[in-house]
Amino acid sequence: MDFDTLISLPQLSEDNCQLSVPKTWSQGRTVFGGLSAALMLKHMYLHINDDTRNLLSFSCNFVAPLLTESPFTISTKVLRSGKNVTQVETTIHQNDATCLVSLACFGIQRQSKVVVHAEETPIKLNENINPKQTLRYVEGLFPAFIQNVDLNLQHGAMPFSGADSSDIHGWMRFKDNEQGNLKELHVLALADAWPPTLLQLCDSPSPASTVSWYIEFLQPLALNDSRWLGYQVSTHQANGGYGTEDAKIFSQTGELVALSRQTVAVFDS
């Protein structure tokens, strides 16, 4: 089942919908975090049902493991809907436990004299994407969800390689999305597809997990029929088993579309 099929499931239109996710979308013992977040965002969209309100920001706390092939419930509550901004909360529960909690902010575009253009440009991202640099899925070596995405590594290192740099630059896309019709849901999910930058600093296999995630979307979203998204990320700080990584997501033609920050726990001792 591909990404677009999962985020289009009819159950998502229900107030308290019940879903399960196949093992092909697992990340260790849990559902791939980007997919979990995208399902929550889709539930938000359907709940507020207002195309004039664009996604400005999305935050997510990964509270407990969300298991594949086991039913879970998504529920959404509008905390406040004002003239310009709507604040929404969505939770996922499984086996009587809270697994994920997310908050999102949606806003109406307005006329304003304040205009600051994003001047960020991709660093070391070659527009000519070399297929030889796309990671090949190997069962047992990569998380299962990787078989659904293409990650084209242009700068950085593989996890557990003991690298001396925490930067990663590359391209990313869904294998089954050949039309380039990317939306916020695709950007959100793909932004979580790369391994945490802390893992390439480790010199032996070490578990890691995202604790919290915050992502902001630039409006209007200028994807320009991109099939690939550019990704640049580096560790901002790490100590005591936790690290913070900052990322920028670009369209295939170089427009900055989103800014992301994650707090990651690494268990390398």
Same domain, 59 and 132: no
**Domain-terminating residue out of 88, 110, 132:** 110
Please list, residue by residue across 197-218, b when 16 or more beta carbons sit within 10 angstroms of its beta carbon and e when fewer do.
Answer: bbbbbbeeeeebebeebebebe
The whole-number pLDDT of residue 96 equals 96
Does residue 115 belong to any structural domain of this protein? no
**pTM score, whole prediction:** 0.93
Q: Which helix (H) or strand (E) holds 55?
A: strand 53-62
**Domain-terminating residue out of 110, 132, 162:** 110
Same domain, 166 and 65: no
Residues 6 or more apart whose Cβ sits within 8 Å of residue 13: 46
Same domain, 87 and 167: no
Does residue 59 belong to any structural domain of this protein? yes
Same domain, 247 and 175: yes
Give the residue among 214, 230, 216 at the shortest CA–CA distance from 263.
214
Per the CB < 8 A criterion, the answer to whether 181 and 227 are in contact is: no
The whole-number pLDDT of residue 178 equals 65
- Three-state SS annotation for 62-124: ECCCCCCCCCEEEEEEEEEECCCEEEEEEEEEECCEEEEEEEEEEEECCCCCCCCCCCCCCCC
Domain count, the chain: 2
The whole-number pLDDT of residue 126 equals 65
Same domain, 127 and 93: no
Domain that holds residue 74: 1-110
pLDDT digits (tens, 9 = 90+) for 202-232: 988 888 899 999 999 998 887 877 789 999 9
**Domain-terminating residue out of 65, 91, 110:** 110
Same domain, 102 and 181: no
Same domain, 208 and 126: yes
Residues of the chain under the 70 pLDDT cut: 119-127, 178-180
pLDDT digits (tens, 9 = 90+) for 132-154: 889 888 888 889 999 999 999 98
| CATH number for the domain that contains residue 55 | 3.10.129.10
Same domain, 21 and 137: no
Same domain, 79 and 199: no
